[in-house]
Amino acid sequence: MRDRIVIIMTMITVLVACSPKNGEKITGKTKTDPFIEQLMAKMTLDEKLGQMTLYTTDWESTGPTIRSGYQDDIRLGRCGALFNSHTVEFTTLLQKIAMEESRLKIPLLFGYDVIHGYKTMFPIPLGEAASWDLAAIENSAYIMSKEAAASGLHWTFAPMVDITREPRWGRVMEGAGEDTYLGSRIAEARVRGIQGENFAKADRLLACVKHFAAYGAPIAGRDYNSVEISERVFRETYLPPYEAAIKAGAKTVMTSFNDYNGVPASGNKYLLTDILRNEWGFNGYVVTDYTSINEMVNHGVAKNQTDAGIMAVNAGVDMDMQSAAFQEKIKAGINDGRVKMEKIDASVRRILMLKKELGLFENPYRFSDKKRETTTIMAKENLDASKDMAKKSVVLLKNSGILPLAKKPMKILVAGPLADDKNNLIGAWSASGEGRHCVSLYEGLRQHPAAGNYSFEHIKGCEIEGNDQTQFSIILEKAKTSDIIILAIGEHKDMSGEAASKSVIRIPGVQEDLLKALKSTGKPIVTVIMNGRPLILNDVHSNSDALLEAWWLGTQSGNALADIIYGDYNPSGKLPISYPRNEGQIPIYYNHKNTGRPLNPNDKYTTKYLDVPNTPFYPFGFGLSYTTFTYGVPTVAKSTFSSQEPITVSIDVRNTGNFDGEEVVQLYIRDLVASVTRPVKELRGFQKVMIKKGETKKVTFTLTKKDFEIYNQNMEKVVEPGEFHVFVGGNSDTQNKVSVTLQ
């Protein structure tokens, strides 16, 4: 390794330096406030523990157990926050119990999983990430928050910022994909969209960054499984989006179910205190995930619920979701000195402070305006925003030229189990979204202004699951007399989301057989896939003339897809995650290391499989357009820079096709020689630019010191001088590069 000068950055990683001197230190700067202090002086221990307790109502369940009697808990001051409770009517009813029947009349806080829409549904988060459009993502988060806040809610359990390299994991649908840089920018955008400048405004919510930490790295992709990653991978790949969300102002954090380095997150002091509060200065409150305190008994780190509760509060948890461990069990630990009262007070203070900042002590019903609820929910501008987001989220994976459809008389056969489906379009984690409000693909195609050119027929052909092929003969007859087939296939919405991991990530049932059968008619096929995770699409690709990745696009699905299919909108999405060629390649991601034996097809003893290429089927960042873009060579003003100097990289991108279109121009770097092994590419910038046909646009990026930082062998964050390649192109496969040297 070449000699290098190591420039140690001001912020040194923490492992040792920033850890509190002893386990008892009360961490994070909690604001104090005379009103809160006076209130706390009046509170009994039970009432304090009540504020640290969050229960679900009996409206719906997002986890295993429902506690009965939560209304009595409110009366008795044994619960300060509720989730799965919404609508002005229901939240008002519950708030009244707190305000009129509890001793101290402390207002309740209402939370809910508003993940990608409240009533107006937007694309699933993985789909939104495919837009690479931060303004649109921020707006989507804003609209969902506005609707939820109008329906009596204060707090959403979003954004989920878990990076994942695991398409088998069902919750891949809920995040922003595999990349840390893209994920961090999206995390910030979502926090801005949810909380705005002032989370107390009537159209905003408190954000909750989840699931802290590394929930997206379960071994073998099985939900809730252990996470076994090195500190380096943890810090480089998984941690930054949480930090970005917190730096963007997120006020609450949710722990994850998994253990990290042998310690379940809800009892992990390293995560909740050393990193979150001491390193990052987080001063909001930490809530656990659903019953995850109790689950520490199953993890085998606590003998019983009491010990688990004590472990959680001492690690840095402020609020217990559904375990009832704080409310019912940890008094024993307070009495015998295992839990310091200051610890309890600090948590209660944090929670009450946020209730105060939300304005709930002034007016506990300020989010309970029936008229606002009626006028806000599913307002036209919300539906327009949903359609806009849906169009931007679609990724064109293949096009032999059949799309956009020619505007001439044609008979269109709209086929497949998802072609006229509405219920699946809301995707998993759909809050109070309803399938009946969604526009199906078939509806969208027929109600579009361009529909007059065509005649339509619809047959399902098969179901999403099962082996039934009895409709095949009928559909094949119809296909023969049609000019074109639009086939919608994919997953059921419950095949992704929580507790929905799969070992085989292919389109289920006989749907691919249906595609193959239709292909035999020789008619052109536009395949639209609807799904919540990367799928193995090799055969789907080869049997289709055009292929659109349409995720679960939400309320406006059909209208958005019709705009794309008819050419009113030119697809601009790019995959936020790699699509494998087969399950055996998983985990597969673009920012892998070079290894000591990089692939050489002519040398047996290099890193490769005998039966499948190393590359993914579709790489990260990939997506086509109806037009084509040609990239010039990236340029820099000089080849050598000091590490303090910003580096400007410019490139000409030319629209060489026949349509105006947007391109996501992506910039990656590679650190050629460092004190530790570095990925072959790392995303460090992107811009989504509209380029008219025939036009050339100069796209300029500025790289700063931060973009070149790495953790050295001592886990210090440094910039190491030396040569870097800077790649600029339309996906992570690009080899279009310039070399720069940092001194």
Which residues does the annotation mark as catalytic? 289
Q: Could you tell me how far CA 143 lies from the centroid of its own chain? A: 17
Is the CB of 210 or the CB of 448 nearer to ligand BGC? 210
DSSP three-state, residue 82: strand
Q: Which is nearer to ligand BGC, 62 or 675 (CB)?
A: 62
Q: Collapsing DSSP states into helix, strand and coil, what is residue 719?
A: strand
Q: Which is nearer to ligand BGC, 125 or 729 (CB)?
A: 125
Q: Which two three-digit tokens encode residue 388?
A: 């806009």
Find the binding residues for ligand BGC in span 210-239 (CB under 6 A): 210
Q: Report angle CA 212, 218, 221 to the nearest 5 degrees.
A: 135
Closest approach, Cβ 429 to ligand BGC, in A, equals: 8
SS3 385: helix
Q: Which residues have CB under 8 Å from 344's CB, separation 6+?
A: 45, 48, 49, 52, 313, 334
Please work out, in degrees rounded to the nearest 5, the angle formed at the alpha carbon of residue 69 by the alpha carbons of 64 and 75.
135
Please identify, using beta-carbon distances, which residue of 290 and 589 lies nearer to ligand BGC. 290
Measured from the Cβ of residue 45, the count of other Cβ atoms closer than 10 Å reads 13
- For residue 173, with 0-12 CB atoms within 10 Å meaning exposed, 13-18 middle and 19 or more buried, which class applies? buried
Q: What are phi and psi of 172, to 5 degrees?
A: -60, -30
**Half-sphere CA count of 359, side-chain side, radius 13 A:** 13
113 near ligand BGC (CB under 6 A):
yes
Q: Interface mask (CB under 6 A) for ligand BGC, residues 140-169, using x and -?
A: -----------------x------------
**φ and ψ of 582, to 5 deg:** -155, 165
Within positions 402 to 431, which residues make up the interface with ligand BGC, using CB under 6 A?
Answer: none
Compute how many other C-beta atoms are within 10 angstroms of the C-beta atom of residue 677: 11
Closest separation in Å from C-beta 83 to ligand BGC:
6
Helix locations, 489-611, DSSP H: 511-519, 538-543, 557-565
Q: Scan residues 476-505 and list those touching ligand BGC (CB under 6 A).
A: 498
Binding mask 623-642 for ligand BGC (x = CB under 6 A): --------------------
CB atoms within 10 A of CB 407: 12
Closest among 141, 111, 121, 119 to 129, alpha carbons compared = 141
Query: Minimum distance between the CB of residue 493 and ligand BGC, rounded to whole angstroms?
Result: 16
Cα–Cα distance measured from residue 152 to residue 91, given in angstroms and rounded to the nearest whole number: 6
Q: Are strands 395-399 and 546-549 parallel, antiparallel or unpaired?
A: antiparallel
Contacts of 186 (CB under 8 A, 6+ apart): 128, 129, 134, 137, 159, 161, 176, 241
Question: 66 or 680: whose CB is closer to ligand BGC?
Answer: 66
CB of 157 to ligand BGC, least distance (A): 3
Nearest residue to ligand BGC on Cβ basis = 62
Report CA torsion sign: 479, 480, 484, 490: positive
Nearer to ligand BGC, 215 or 552 (CB): 215
Q: Nearest-CA neighbor of 533 among 241, 174, 117? A: 174
Q: Cβ 113 to ligand BGC, closest distance in Å?
A: 5
Structure-derived torsion over alpha carbons of residues 387, 389, 390, 391, reported in degrees to the nearest 10:
90
| Residue 355 in the binding site for ligand BGC (CB under 6 A) | no
Least distance CB 529 / ligand BGC (angstroms): 26
Tell me if 290 contacts ligand BGC by CB under 6 A: yes
**CB-wise, 124 or 548, nearer to ligand BGC?**
124
End-to-end CA distance of the chain: 16
CB of 555 to ligand BGC, least distance (A): 22
What is the C-alpha to C-alpha distance for residues 215 and 227, in angstroms, rounded to an integer?
7
DSSP-derived letter for residue 71 is: H
- Greatest Cα pair distance in the chain: 82
Q: How far apart are CA 14 and CA 279, in angstroms?
A: 7
Q: What does the block give as tokens for 376?
A: 């806000």
* Shortest separation between residue 143's beta carbon and ligand BGC, angstroms: 20
- Residue 670: name the closest of 587, 595, 717, 738 by CA: 738
Q: In the range 61-80, which residues lie near ligand BGC by CB under 6 A?
A: 62-63
Q: How far is the CB of 199 from ligand BGC (least distance, A)?
A: 18
With contact defined as beta carbons under 8 Å apart, do 489 and 511 qualify?
yes
CB 117 within 8 A of CB 144: yes
Which residues have CB under 8 Å from 150's CB, separation 6+?
Answer: 88, 202, 203, 367, 369, 372, 373, 375, 376, 377
Token reading at 541: 């690709």
Q: Would you say 476 and 499 are in contact if contact means Cβ atoms under 8 Å apart?
A: no
Contact yes or no for 212/242 (Cβ under 8 A): yes
Q: Which is nearer to ligand BGC, 113 or 320 (CB)?
A: 113
Q: Going residue by residue from 186 to 215, which x/- string records binding to ligand BGC, judged by CB under 6 A? A: ------------------------x-----
What DSSP state is assigned to residue 420?
Answer: T
Contacts of 545 (CB under 8 A, 6+ apart): 398, 399, 400, 402, 524, 525, 526
Report the 10 Å Cβ neighbour count for 279. 18
Pairing assessment for the beta strands 263-264 and 259-260 based on DSSP bridges: antiparallel
Q: Which of 162, 178, 243, 289 binds ligand BGC (CB under 6 A)?
A: 289
* Interface with ligand BGC (CB under 6 A): 62-63, 113, 157, 210, 289-290, 498
